[in-house]
């Protein structure tokens, strides 16, 4: 048998996991799927994910791949792996792809979505940020437009995770109001650690119409300066993880 490269598309609820990437002693998505593949095939694989989502973050269309030499048909891996996964993870499909395909490095863009709600819910609290303060939608939209283009997003990244190159190109950034939901959509070639949550946190902070006296609110001008790296200020407003979703990855 010849080695095959298997591509999978994964949906998951991230609440119970310490993120995508394997961590010793912690439940992770990469770890759970890797273990399930071992139970199916008896082989240890290197599972490569397109996005290393943080603890508590969800996914509708995470893409991953692994190399394996096994007799199972490529389109049967999804069903076989799902048998050994908890209900919080679901492999939507599996297929064979070229041997040089790498889910992380071949990706052209990632698309994320953030959900906020103006009221509490016993059912949906693990899937959105319940933010019951009045916001200026126009300010949110103005800030979202400032994000477009190529910028150094290191002020929106966890310091310990900054790279030598922290530039990202953002081609779509927009807020929507859908009923009682506030929805932020962003698409770019790459994202830094906690970048989307920090962007959302900063935008909500500057759009807050009921400011907290104990919290210093940003202005649109300050946000613009941070985006354009005209200040050494670092954003400290990270939105909660449960509202963030990796929606899709494009190749």
**Per-residue pLDDT reduced to its tens digit, 62-116:** 999 999 999 999 999 999 999 999 999 999 999 999 999 999 999 999 999 999 9
Domain ranges within the chain, ordered by starting residue: 4-97, 109-250
pTM assigned to the model: 0.93
Phi, psi at 248, each rounded to 5°: -160, 160
The residue behind tokens 């126009």 is: 138
- pLDDT band of residue 231 (cuts 50, 70, 90) is low
Which pLDDT score, from 0 to 100, does residue 235 have? 72
pLDDT at residue 232 tops 80: no
Annotation says 136 is catalytic: no
Those residues whose C-beta lies under 8 Å from the C-beta of residue 224, and which sit 6 or more positions away, are 146
Specify whether the CB–CB gap between 143 and 202 falls below 8 A.
yes
Answer CATH for 109-250 from 3.40.50.300, 1.10.10.10, 3.90.1150.10, 3.30.70.660: 3.30.70.660
CA 246 to chain centroid: 4
Catalytic annotation, pick one of 54, 75, 136, 232: 54
């Amino acid at each position: 048998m010849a080695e095959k490269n298997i591509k999978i598309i994964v949906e998951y609820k991230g609440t119970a996991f310490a993120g995508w990437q394997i961590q010793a002693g912690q439940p992770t998505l990469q770890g759970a799927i890797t273990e399930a593949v071992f139970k199916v095939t008896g082989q240890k694989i290197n599972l490569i994910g397109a996005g290393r989502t943080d603890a508590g973050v969800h996914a509708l269309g995470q893409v991953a791949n692994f190399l394996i030499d096994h007799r199972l048909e490529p389109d049967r891996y999804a069903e076989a792996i799902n048998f050994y996964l908890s209900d919080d993870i679901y492999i939507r499909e599996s297929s064979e792809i070229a041997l040089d395909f790498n889910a992380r490095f071949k990706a052209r863009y990632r698309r994320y979505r953030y959900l906020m709600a103006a009221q509490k819910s016993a059912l949906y609290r693990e899937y959105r940020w319940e933010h019951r303060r009045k916001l200026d939608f126009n300010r949110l939209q103005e800030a979202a437009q400032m994000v477009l283009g190529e910028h150094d997003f290191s002020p929106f990244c966890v310091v310990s995770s900054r790279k030598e190159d922290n530039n990202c190109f953002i081609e779509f950034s927009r807020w929507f109001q859908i009923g009682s939901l506030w929805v932020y959509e962003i698409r770019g070639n790459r994202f830094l650690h906690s970048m989307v949550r920090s962007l959302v946190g900063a935008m909500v902070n500057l759009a807050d119409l009921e400011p907290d006296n104990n919290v210093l609110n940003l202005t649109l001008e300050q946000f613009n300066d941070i985006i354009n790296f005209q200040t050494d200020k670092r954003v400290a407003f990270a939105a909660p993880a449960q509202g963030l979703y990796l929606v899709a990855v494009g190749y």
